[in-house]
Amino acid sequence: MQLAAILALSRVVGALFKRIGLPQVVGEMAAGIMLGPTLLGLFWPEGYQFLFPPESVGYLGSLSNLGIVFFLFLIGLELDPKLLVSQGRSALTIGILSILFPFSCAVILTRWLTDNSTLFEGVENLPATLLFMGTAIAVTAFPVLARVLVDTGMQHSRIGSISIAAAAVNDVLSWCLLAGVIAYAQAAGIAQGLSTAGFTLVFIFIMYTVVKPFLRRLQNVYDRNTRPSSHVIALIFFLILASAIATELIGIHALFGAFVLGAVMPRGSNFVATLAEKIEDFTVVFLLPVFFAYAGINTYIDFSGGYEFWKYVGLIVAVACVGKVGGAALAAKLGRLSVRESLGVGVLMNTHGLMELVILNVGRELQVISDRVYAMMVVMALVTTASAGPLLQLIYPRSRREQQAARHAGFSVLLPVSMPRTAVPLAELANHLTASSKERRIVGLYLRQQHFYDTIRSHLEEPQPEEIEPLQRLREEASRLRMPLETLSFVSRDPGTDIAETANNQALDMILMGFHKPLIKQSILGGTVNRVFSNARCHVGVFVDRGFHGVRRVLVPFMAASTHDQLALELAGRIGASANARVTVLQVVEPGNGAENGATMEAVKKVFGETLDPEVVSVKIVEDASPVDAVLREAASHDLVVIGVAEKWGLEGGMLGFRGERIAAEVATSMLIVRRYEP
């Protein structure tokens, strides 16, 4: 009866919360509290006593602990190590500061509460209590954060990818910190504490040097059989329980062992995906609601507790929000994110969710917090988790999310390469152009010149793409950037036409090619490039390398009436979002006519949103009778100029020669010259 009631109420309340735009897990947490003394016990004490007699609560607790052990295994399983490095320094900085700030704030608050209230009366180990409260407020609920991003459609945005990576860092550090707090709280002295730390290091060493290689071999067995047998599933269950037992005996709680086992499982395989699918449904749908109900039975929120109770609840919530949101937002701002993006990251990192309840349950077992503090912290977890979605939607309104969704739609690029040195900058640009897309495709192309003996030797084996140096260099750079790459190579009599036809046949969105010939000998927009322009049924970008070494400032000379300049603005927006670069939109007007062009601002807002963040994009109006001179002057302080082919800039047409390409000839900055395809 208990399990049936728990399952039914958790699904109903979870579905209701989801319908009103809140994470389902918040509804399931609320359902657990509703079944406890806070609601059921208050309004129907006879029913509460009948459904949850005291002698049965212990069995419910055992089942809930089992659910949490398996859930922590799933959390470790979802913790992809690539996330820890995918966003580099930004994710690491945000992950660390989103622990240090709230941890410090919580320790200060707890120390003040111990001196000015009776909340922590009866707590004997005050240092352990301080450390535990800091850890509890510092944790981020990785699964809830991901769910909020999916619900708001921002999982592929820059703040989405950075938040996910930062939450992964936060998860690892939080569980290590919790393990240390538990070891300290349970240690009888320095000798036992050192012993616990030593055995913990031995446990982790064995997991990575013995268990992880064994799991890889187990994966190979699965790959041969295509599906895991019942023996394999039983073995994984045994390893989960054995790892939990080992860390429980060491003195750092069973949860840590299950988490570490999940973290050492092989990644990127059908074996892990199938295993997660088999465990997840039963754990998340059935066992977790039992944990919520068990936590709810032990939670009494005194709604009639008066001013004092709710004063401390408000204080805890405020400190948690200020510490978590403030620390994460400050770190994001240091990482050169905009104010809006920094606040978005802070709100996402403030989701405590289920992880908070797990940690609070451990604290209650260790007797480092009182029942009243436990109830207050549960309220804090509910408030911070429930508010994440609405606050994120307030920071990023629907219109702005739709603009971002359009920008993050699928994008595909063809990279024709003819020499190894051009592969690096072209790969970096292609990565920036496609990094924020839900689906991205990059195709590397190398065209070999046709010699007179090719026909005679056509029956011989052709060189493979991996044997060609430019493609090999492109592949190495793509691997470094973690960018998907396909490669093609064939003999060509007309490279310009074949490049265009390859993009047409592959239905790609853009051709991104380099220019290598000296300007005096051949026009940039003539020859091969002109034939690509003439035959390609997609956008074309010609990259002129002037010592390209990354991008922090992008210049876009812009005319609102030019569709090519509008493409340049869109591509600059993609590059700026991926590289965390600042975009300057340059508008050149006749002397004495320095008024702002409304069409220009409308185009900029269409790409960057209604509220223009000056650290993301700025519009600069320059009065000059020579637009080309203005561009050359402004380009000196930028890393990349993205410009559309247009008569005003002297880049319109095909075979214009040296005179018409003065910008490309004289500018010292790397350039991306783009042409929009319009059917």
DSSP assignment of 263-290: HHSPPSSHHHHHHHHHHHHHIIIIIHHH
Contact 589, 675 (CB under 8 A): no
The CATH number covering residue 547 comes to 3.40.50.12370
Q: Does residue 480 sit in the same domain as residue 364?
A: no
Q: Does residue 375 sit in the same domain as residue 455?
A: no
pLDDT score recorded for residue 109: 93
pLDDT score recorded for residue 615: 77
* Residue at token pair 């939990």: 244
Question: What whole-number distance in Å separates Cα of residue 617 and Cα of residue 582?
Answer: 6
Q: Does residue 290 sit in the same domain as residue 239?
A: yes
Report which listed range, 144-158, 417-431, 594-608, is most confident: 417-431
Task: Report residue 384 as tokens.
Answer: 């911070």
The pLDDT-based confidence of 4 (bands split at 50, 70, 90) is very high
Judge whether residue 370 has pLDDT over 80.
Answer: yes
Judge whether residue 31 has pLDDT over 80.
Answer: yes
pLDDT score recorded for residue 38: 87
Judge whether residue 656 has pLDDT over 50.
Answer: no
Question: What whole-number distance in Å separates Cα of residue 604 and Cα of residue 582?
Answer: 13
pLDDT score recorded for residue 657: 38
**One-letter amino acid for residue 172 of the chain:** V
Question: What whole-number distance in Å separates Cα of residue 533 and Cα of residue 500?
Answer: 8
Domain boundary among 396, 422, 451: 396
Judge whether residue 100 has pLDDT over 70.
Answer: yes
pLDDT score recorded for residue 611: 62
Helix (H, G, I), strand (E, B) or coil at 500: helix
pLDDT score recorded for residue 654: 44
Q: Pairing relation of β-strands 539-544 and 670-675?
A: antiparallel
Task: Report residue 362 as tokens.
Answer: 């451990």
The pLDDT-based confidence of 610 (bands split at 50, 70, 90) is low
pLDDT in tens, 238-261: 999 999 999 889 887 888 889 889
* Predicted structure pTM score: 0.64
Name the strand (E) or helix (H) holding 52. Answer: none
pLDDT more than 90, % of the chain: 20
Q: Does residue 390 sit in the same domain as residue 454?
A: no
Judge whether residue 326 has pLDDT over 50.
Answer: yes
Task: Report residue 473 as tokens.
Answer: 């260099």
Q: Does residue 439 sit in the same domain as residue 321?
A: no
The pLDDT-based confidence of 454 (bands split at 50, 70, 90) is very low
Q: Does residue 269 sit in the same domain as residue 359?
A: yes
Helix (H, G, I), strand (E, B) or coil at 236: helix
Helix (H, G, I), strand (E, B) or coil at 537: coil
Phi-psi region of 567 (alpha: psi -120 to 50; beta: other; left: phi over 0): alpha
Task: Report residue 266 as tokens.
Answer: 């092989």
The CATH number covering residue 277 comes to 1.20.1530.20
Judge whether residue 408 has pLDDT over 60.
Answer: no
pLDDT score recorded for residue 80: 64
Q: Does residue 191 sit in the same domain as residue 303?
A: yes
Give percent helix, percent strand, percent coil of the chain, each to the nearest 5. 65, 10, 25
Between 187 and 388, residue with greater pLDDT: 388
Residue ranges of E strands in 384-439: 411-416
57 inside domain = yes
Q: Does residue 188 sit in the same domain as residue 275?
A: yes
Count of domains observed in the chain:
2
* Residue at token pair 């910008």: 663
Q: Does residue 388 sit in the same domain as residue 461?
A: no
pLDDT in tens, 136-184: 999 888 777 877 776 676 766 667 778 877 887 887 788 888 888 888 8
Judge whether residue 83 has pLDDT over 60.
Answer: no
Q: Of 46-55, 227-236, 289-298, 339-348, where does mean pLDDT reach its minimum?
A: 227-236
Task: Report residue 101 as tokens.
Answer: 């700030």
Question: What whole-number distance in Å separates Cα of residue 265 and Cα of residue 272?
Answer: 7
Alpha carbon of residue 574 to chain centroid: 17
pLDDT more than 70, % of the chain: 85
pLDDT score recorded for residue 50: 93
DSSP classification of residue 420: H
Query: Which residue range forms the structural domain that includes residue 58?
Result: 2-13+22-396
pLDDT in tens, 562-583: 888 899 999 998 898 888 888 9
Q: Does residue 440 sit in the same domain as residue 359?
A: no
Counting every residue, how long is the chain? 679
Question: What whole-number distance in Å separates Cα of residue 139 and Cα of residue 349?
Answer: 9
The pLDDT-based confidence of 458 (bands split at 50, 70, 90) is very low
Q: What is the dihedral of CA 96, 102, 104, 108, to 10 degrees?
A: 180
Question: What whole-number distance in Å separates Cα of residue 349 and Cα of residue 164?
Answer: 9
Contact 639, 670 (CB under 8 A): yes
Angle subtended by helix axes 270-282 and 212-225, to nearest 10 = 100
Question: What whole-number distance in Å separates Cα of residue 308 and Cα of residue 111?
Answer: 18
Q: In angstroms, what CA-CA distances link 294 with 59, 248, 435?
A: 10, 21, 44
Written as one string, the DSSP assignment of 550-610 is --SEEEEE--TT-HHHHHHHHHHHHHHHHHT-EEEEEEEE-TT--PPPHHHHHHHHHHH-S
401 inside domain = no
Contacts of 186 (CB under 8 A, 6+ apart): 196, 251, 366
Helix (H, G, I), strand (E, B) or coil at 443: strand
DSSP classification of residue 209: I
Question: What whole-number distance in Å separates Cα of residue 295 and Cα of residue 313?
Answer: 18
Q: Of 115-124, 262-271, 399-408, where does mean pLDDT reach its minimum?
A: 399-408
Domain boundary among 396, 418, 440: 396
**One-letter amino acid for residue 189 of the chain:** G
Domain boundary among 344, 376, 396: 396
pLDDT score recorded for residue 522: 46
Q: What average pLDDT does the segment 21-46 reach?
A: 88
Between 609 and 326, residue with greater pLDDT: 326
Q: Does residue 456 sit in the same domain as residue 358?
A: no
386 inside domain = yes
62 inside domain = yes
Degrees, nearest 5: CA angle 539-541-544: 175
Question: What whole-number distance in Å separates Cα of residue 186 and Cα of residue 249?
Answer: 11
Judge whether residue 405 has pLDDT over 70.
Answer: no
The mean pLDDT of the chain is 82
**One-letter amino acid for residue 237 of the chain:** F
pLDDT score recorded for residue 227: 63
186 inside domain = yes
The pLDDT-based confidence of 662 (bands split at 50, 70, 90) is low
Q: Does residue 391 sit in the same domain as residue 428?
A: no
pLDDT in tens, 499-533: 999 998 888 999 999 875 533 334 555 577 888 88
Between 65 and 149, residue with greater pLDDT: 65
Judge whether residue 380 has pLDDT over 70.
Answer: yes
* Residue at token pair 């084996």: 461
3-state secondary structure labels for all residues of 593-632: CCCCCHHHHHHHHHHHCCCCCCCCEEEEEEECCCHHHHHH
Contacts of 109 (CB under 8 A, 6+ apart): 133, 315, 316, 319
Contact 604, 598 (CB under 8 A): no
